[in-house]
A and B are shown apart, each in its own frame.
Chain A
Amino acid sequence: MTILGISIGVCVCIIMLGIGESIKHSFKDVYGKRQIDIVIQEIDQPSILLSRIDANTARRTRALPAVQDAGSVLLYIYNMRHAAVPVFGWEPDTFLFDAVELTQGRKPISGKKEAMVGVVLKNILDKERQTQIKIKGQTFDIVGVFKSSSPFEQSAVVLPLGGLQDALREEGKASFVNVKLKTNYRNDLAIQGALKELEIALPNVSAMRADVFVAEKTKFIVMGEQFSLLVSVITIIAVALGLANTMVTSSFEKKKFLSILLALGWPRLAIAALFVCESLIVAFMGGALGIFLGFKITTFIFSMTSIQAFVPELSLIFIIKIVGMLLASALFAGLVPAWITLNSNPVEVIRGE
């Protein structure tokens, strides 16, 4: 029962912290894996969905000496029957297409009503025997399936920029431009210099470092994470108290057993270590079960949402956070009965007084 209780507590922590962590990491992956250094979007527009800039911004950006490549992206959320799906309009022949790997078919050709979809979305469409996608009344043939390092893209539709502009009736518009700098410009100083150049060359848009952009866009996740961390700490404290209660009860039950050990010449510290070990083993078993359950439940939660491709991430730091809190609580839970044992009189117990 104690192990189950701990596992439920840990499971809650994993779900609460895991969801935010996974979304944040996935968002970071879009930029990190593509080596995007700078993002250009509309000035004073907090929502990336509502941001609109001139798609020619990318062409003008590419003209700057520090820039290796730049690609315009138009973003739209398409409401499928079960979930909302991100639709990307990517500027053809840019590095944006390099980070995805085609697993079936080919890339959509600019000027044709064609699309490619992420593997997760493809599976959903297959179940519904869909080979086309209808966006704002326009039908696009699915000509390719791709894999991406980013779960956002795994469940997304990708069209050539012109196709999406046409469907949305937003000719010449983009939501943002992703900028990749030349290798020798990929340092803090050079990025700052490139940002200044962009500010001068493109005074009507807002350019920011990709990591700052990601941090800003995931601000709500970070806030959510802090709340989740607080709830998780409270949960772990509850788990610790439950475990301590079990261990103290167990110490009363085992008092005679422990007193005999003292009479047999066991050092009190060795007996105290028994409690701590027992507590740690129980916490470890509960923790392992909780992590497993949390992982499965989070995956299930993700599968019920529009971000079906998300996989809860169990990063080392994340595991250390959970395990650290759990071990600290197990230590506390083991030390309480250990302290009681260290201060008990074995003769009274042996004689049943």
Chain B
Amino acid sequence: MNKEGEAKKLFQAVSVRKYYPLTKSNALCDVSLAIEKGEFVGIKGASGCGKSTLLYVLAGLLAPTSGEVYFQGDLLTQIKDKVGYRRNNIGFVFQDFYLYPGFTVLENVLFPGLYRGFVSKAMRKKAEALLAELHMGHKTHTPAQVLSAGERQRACIARALLNDPQCILADEPTGNLDSNNGQVILEMLKKINSEHQTTIVLVTHEERVSRYAHRLIHLADGRVEYV
């Protein structure tokens, strides 16, 4: 790939196919797309159309059966330190939050930095600042299990932002939220996208995401239907 020409592209997928031998099904078929830095992209489609698979392929958690995925011009399969790639470039927001009960909100937010066994003061300050930015400053020392669903998802967004990722991959982040909280989360992601220039790739069923995303990619049966 011409790196200079592709400088603006954060992700590029070329003819990506993902086959699951267990279910003998193609989750992704000949998917080609590009996502530019600073974009807010929504990936829409019916359940089982391959949205989440595409997200995990972009994250390097799943290897494509065939085809190529590039991150900033580098072939993802050739990046040896996939964990480092994820840690430094990707923030995850899940539908089910996956906060650790028994730990405070702050501790949960600090988890991505805890792999060394300790967190620096600077990282702790940053986590506190992120929580404040997401209107969670008053919940810093609250145990995660007592938060409301909306608060949990805000804590997850703070956790995703801790390592200053270039991109947030959000898998149905509003799926477990009521309409109001869902809107708050989408607004926050939009704000993060515009203020931090963080690329957002959001997998969703929701129609209203079109109000926030720069563009939508529609998937059907593992194929890009239209962009």
- Residues of chain A touching chain B, judged by Cβ–Cβ distance below 8 Å, are 256-257, 260-268, 270, 346-347, 350-351, 353
Contacts and interface: CB of A to CB of B under 8 A. Distances in A.
Task: Report whether over half of chain A's contact residues are helix, strand or loop; otherwise say mixed.
Answer: helix
Interface in B74-99: 83-84, 86-88, 90, 92, 94, 98
A342 to B, nearest CB: 12
A256 B114 CA distance: 17
Name the 6 nearest CB pairs between A and B, nearest first.
A265-B87, A266-B115, A270-B115, A264-B112, A260-B98, A265-B86
A150 B36 CA distance: 83
Interface stretch (B7-15, B54-62, B127-135, B174-182): B54-62
A263 B86 contact: yes
A50 to B, nearest CB: 64
A263 B114 CA distance: 13
Contacts of B114: 266
A120 B84 CA distance: 66
A80 to B, nearest CB: 58
A263 B87 contact: no
A262 B94 contact: no
A151 B224 CA distance: 86
Interface string B152-175: 000000010001000000000000
A282 to B, nearest CB: 17
A350 B52 CA distance: 11
Interface string B9-50: 000000000000010000000000000000000000000000
A262 B60 CA distance: 11
Contacts of B94: 260, 350
B92 A257 contact: no
Contacts of B116: 270
Contact of B56 (A256, A264, A266, A347): A347
A150 B94 CA distance: 68
A93 B163 CA distance: 82
Interface residues of B, number: 24
B88 A265 contact: yes
A276 to B, nearest CB: 13
B212 interface: no
A264 B87 contact: yes
Interface of B: 22, 52, 56, 59, 61-62, 83-84, 86-88, 90, 92, 94, 98, 100, 111-112, 114-117, 159, 163
B18 to A, nearest CB: 11
A265 B83 contact: yes
Nearest to A264: B112
Contacts of A265: 83-84, 86-88, 90, 112, 115, 163
Given A257-B100, A346-B61, 12 more contacts: A256-B98, A257-B98, A260-B94, A261-B111, A263-B59, A263-B61, A263-B86, A264-B92, A265-B87, A267-B83, A347-B61, A350-B94
A264 B111 contact: yes
A280 B41 CA distance: 46
21 contacts: A256-B98, A260-B98, A261-B115, A262-B83, A263-B59, A264-B86, A264-B87, A264-B92, A264-B111, A264-B112, A264-B159, A265-B84, A265-B86, A265-B87, A265-B90, A266-B115, A267-B84, A347-B61, A347-B62, A350-B98, A353-B22
Interface-central residue, B87, B92, B98, by most chain A CB under 10 Å = B98
Contacts of B111: 261, 264
Nearest to B53: A347
B170 to A, nearest CB: 12
A323 B98 CA distance: 37
Contacts of B90: 265
Contacts of A267: 83-84, 115
